[in-house]
Amino acid sequence: MEPMYLSIQPEKTGERIKKLLLEQGYTIREIQGAFGFENPQAIYKWLSGKSLPSIDNFVILSRLLHTTIEDILVIDG
């Protein structure tokens, strides 16, 4: 079997998260509250592609957005 080389595209994943949040009608404050964050900086970093959610936060995000982690991630390769 050939090795698989995949990479997550953080900026495009952030754009997808933003799009899904808008489609569901969530505000940044609502998402901040759902995650129990004291400030929204982490969420803004996800949306800009500067960082990605941890796997735990991806699970929460996928449930909030009624989708799968695979549908949130933008992967090339």
Residue 60 located in a structural domain = yes
Query: Is the predicted pLDDT of residue 77 greater than 80, yes or no?
Result: no
Say if residue 3's pLDDT is above 70: yes
Q: Would you say residue 61 lies in a domain? A: yes
In this prediction, residue 2 carries a pLDDT of: 85
What integer best gives the mean pLDDT of the chain? 95
Per-residue model confidence as pLDDT tens digits over 49-73: 999 999 999 999 999 999 999 999 9
Task: Evaluate whether residue 1 is within a structural domain.
Answer: no
Q: Is residue 36 part of a domain?
A: yes
Mean pLDDT to the nearest integer, 13-38: 97
| CATH code for the domain of 12 | 1.10.260.40
Report pLDDT for 12.
98
Domain ranges, residue 35:
7-76
Let me know: does 53 contact 61? Beta carbons within 8 Å.
yes
The structure tokens listed for 17 are: 């998260």
Contacts of 77 (CB under 8 A, 6+ apart): 4, 5, 6, 7
43 within some domain: yes
Residue 2 maps to a domain: no
- The number of domains in the chain is 1
